[in-house]
Structure 1
Amino acid sequence: MCALPVPREPLRRVAVTGGTHGNELSGVHLVRHWLRAPGELRRPSFAATPVLANPAAAAACRRYVGCDLNRAFTSGFLSAKASPDDPYEVTRARELDQLLGPKASGAAFDLVLDLHNTTANVGTCLIAETAHQVFVMHLCRHLQLQTPELPCRVLLYKQPGEESYHVGSVAKNSLGLELGPQPQGVLRADVFSRMRALVASTLDFVELFNQGAAFPAFEMEAYRNLGGVDFPRTADGDLAGTVHPQLQDRDFEPLQPGAPIFQLFSGEDVCYEGESTVYPIFINEAAYYEKGVAFIRTEKFTFSVPALPALAPTPTLVP
């Protein structure tokens, strides 16, 4: 595996972003809390910055007000000349690029941790771009070891040749926390607490790294994005069926060729016609109806992650 360069200096500039989608309330309310009481995000060698990514959508308790902010960090949007007709989220993406980036620059934040909820039954899902991000893969492994009693799966979402477009792509390193199921516009105490604990464990890992800890090589299991599958539709584009009961809520479970995936309103089953076993995720995610996605196909694979070498210890910051 061709690994991306690992950090050679302590990570000083870390941000925790919530409310990228304004109706995913765990991140919204955690960030609002930390903006009032930031001490929870401090560690001896750094202090993470809480950022409410999409204030307008959070105030309206909507996913977005103009377009999806988590798709707005493309070079085309970020480099285009500003216009009064730009959607709010495009303008906000440029603001966040200046705050946390600029994207692909040496001045960018060292790490962005972006907080999300899903209506799908994914449990705890860690979303990274590729397996080549050695620091992020070690961070994922650390989070998995903190909660051995709960599945903590890693999704590698970026497809070959695809440009990164999410909020964390402006930073040198990024990880998305995707927790569910939680309805849109609802705050569940168990999901909220789990997300808060994962953020704390992430900051603890950064502190260990900053203080000179070394992390050995290991084997990791992850799920790779193979693309979305749309619902069955009529000639007019309306839904012609729904996710099959045998598939509903079975995120990350194997889907065999020939297994039912949809149930038409007329009563017939639609079966999976792929040639190999896949692992569906984000099954019946509410926000993906508008994107024409009933679920995302993934493949499960195992790969080697090289060791993360130690840095020289860094002095403790004076409060």
Structure 2
Amino acid sequence: MSGVFSMNPLHLVAVTGGTHGNEMSGVTLVKHWLKDSTELARETFTAVPLLANPEATEKCVRYYERDLNRCFTRDILNSTESQDEPYEVKRAREINREFGPRGSVNAYDVILDLHNTTSNMGVCLIVSEAHRHLEMHACHYIQTHLPNFDPQIFLYKEPGSELYDLASVSKAGIGFELGPQPQGVVRGDMLQKMKTLVKVTLDFINHWNQGMEFPAFEVDVYQRVGHVQFPLSPDGEVSAVVHPSLQDRDFFLLHPGDPAFLSLDDQIIPYTGEQPVYPVFINEAAYYEKNIAFILAKKMQVSVPALSSTSQKRTL
């Protein structure tokens, strides 16, 4: 991709935690920043902390009635409110009104949404699509300034699907997914990495606001293309577990015929896909209710145009 991408300064920035109430790095940091937001202040803006799902956070569960991070679909945000609808549906509309509305000129410029996973994802930067140039520049800035974190970029939106996550309310949104970390547990190393990721990203936004320009680049990304379910017995029970040779191998290539599952009677069940893929979110605890063993991704290189304040202004 050639050319130059340009945009206005970014002043409305939010950092959200507790979108899933048992992912404790974001919960802990946002609670801290609600008391003292000094770390979120920069010369050109101060980011707003938000505890996204207070009910789930209080109970230390992923969600209270419905997964909040799947409630930002067009149908839900535009539907008529009713008294008996799930708490998270009401909460999604509240967040959309306060930080959006999605697609409007009044929407927040950037939302950083903080998550943990039980999978061995390391430091993962989640963006909806590769053509989101601001998000891609922010991710590249993080990769450049935190090479020891080895951050991977994951594009969650499959072709033809719609946006559904909290960060999609703003004009630009990035999810930080760090793991492995058990649900309901704070790991100090993950907390420190999360705090550093937020710091570096806010620095990036501040540099842009101060006139820094960012050159074009090429970068590897992992595009979601599907998922694999656990094998089930005739009575609907899980009949095999993730194979030990696949466990913790997020972002490593999986070939057709490689072991994928180990049955409860010790039989190896191979991966039966037609092409090599990169599994991610392997054995994620929160996906058991969906019967998802791991997500499938393809690795590809994308070109991102320069980000410059000197060319004609365009919107995101």
User: How does the TM-score come out when normalised to structure 2?
Assistant: 0.96
Root-mean-square deviation over aligned CA pairs: 1.4
1:155-210 alpha-carbon deviations (Å, 9 max, x no partner): 01101111100001110000000000000000000000000000000000000000
Whether the aligned pair in 2 keeps the contact of 1:215 and 1:310 (CA below 8 Å) is no
Q: CA 1:282–1:154 in 2, change beyond 3 Å: closer, same or farther?
A: same
- 1:228 pairs with 2:227: yes
The residue aligned with 2:254 is 255
Rounded to whole Å, the distance in 1 between the matches of 2:214 and 2:265 is 55
The residue aligned with 2:81 is 82
- 1:177 pairs with 2:181: no
Q: CA 1:121–1:108 in 2, change beyond 3 Å: closer, same or farther?
A: same
Rounded to whole Å, the distance in 2 between the matches of 1:181 and 1:6 is 36
Question: Is the deviation greater in 198-207 or in 142-151?
Answer: 142-151
Q: Secondary structure at the match of 1:229?
A: strand
The one-letter code sitting in structure 2 at the alignment partner of 1:207 is: N
Q: Which runs of 4+ in 1 moved over 6 A?
A: none
Whether the aligned pair in 1 keeps the contact of 2:22 and 2:60 (CA below 8 Å) is yes
CA shift for structure 1 position 288: 0.3
The residue aligned with 1:317 is none
The one-letter code sitting in structure 2 at the alignment partner of 1:129 is: S
CA shift for structure 1 position 266: 1.8
Q: CA 1:172–1:21 in 2, change beyond 3 Å: closer, same or farther?
A: same
The residue aligned with 1:72 is 71
1:126-275 → structure 2 map (5 Å cutoff): 126-275=125-274
CA shift for structure 1 position 150: 2.6
Which stretches in structure 2 are left out of the alignment for 5+ residues?
312-316
The residue aligned with 2:51 is 52
The residue aligned with 2:105 is 106
- 1:15 pairs with 2:14: yes
The residue aligned with 1:309 is 308
CA shift for structure 1 position 8: 2.2
The residue aligned with 1:288 is 287
Rounded to whole Å, the distance in 2 between the matches of 1:75 and 1:91 is 14
CA shift for structure 1 position 2: 9.5
The one-letter code sitting in structure 2 at the alignment partner of 1:308 is: L
Which stretches in structure 1 are left out of the alignment for 5+ residues?
313-319
Q: Secondary structure at the match of 2:175?
A: strand
- 1:276 pairs with 2:275: yes
Q: Percent identity?
A: 51
Rounded to whole Å, the distance in 1 between the matches of 2:54 and 2:146 is 31
Whether the aligned pair in 1 keeps the contact of 2:10 and 2:209 (CA below 8 Å) is yes
Rounded to whole Å, the distance in 2 between the matches of 1:140 and 1:55 is 28
Matched positions, count: 311
Rounded to whole Å, the distance in 2 between the matches of 1:206 and 1:216 is 15
User: How does the TM-score come out when normalised to structure 1?
Assistant: 0.95
CA shift for structure 1 position 53: 0.3
The one-letter code sitting in structure 1 at the alignment partner of 2:305 is: P
The one-letter code sitting in structure 1 at the alignment partner of 2:178 is: L
Q: CA 1:311–1:26 in 2, change beyond 3 Å: closer, same or farther?
A: farther
CA shift for structure 1 position 84: 1.2
Rounded to whole Å, the distance in 2 between the matches of 1:311 and 1:265 is 62
Q: CA 1:152–1:57 in 2, change beyond 3 Å: closer, same or farther?
A: same
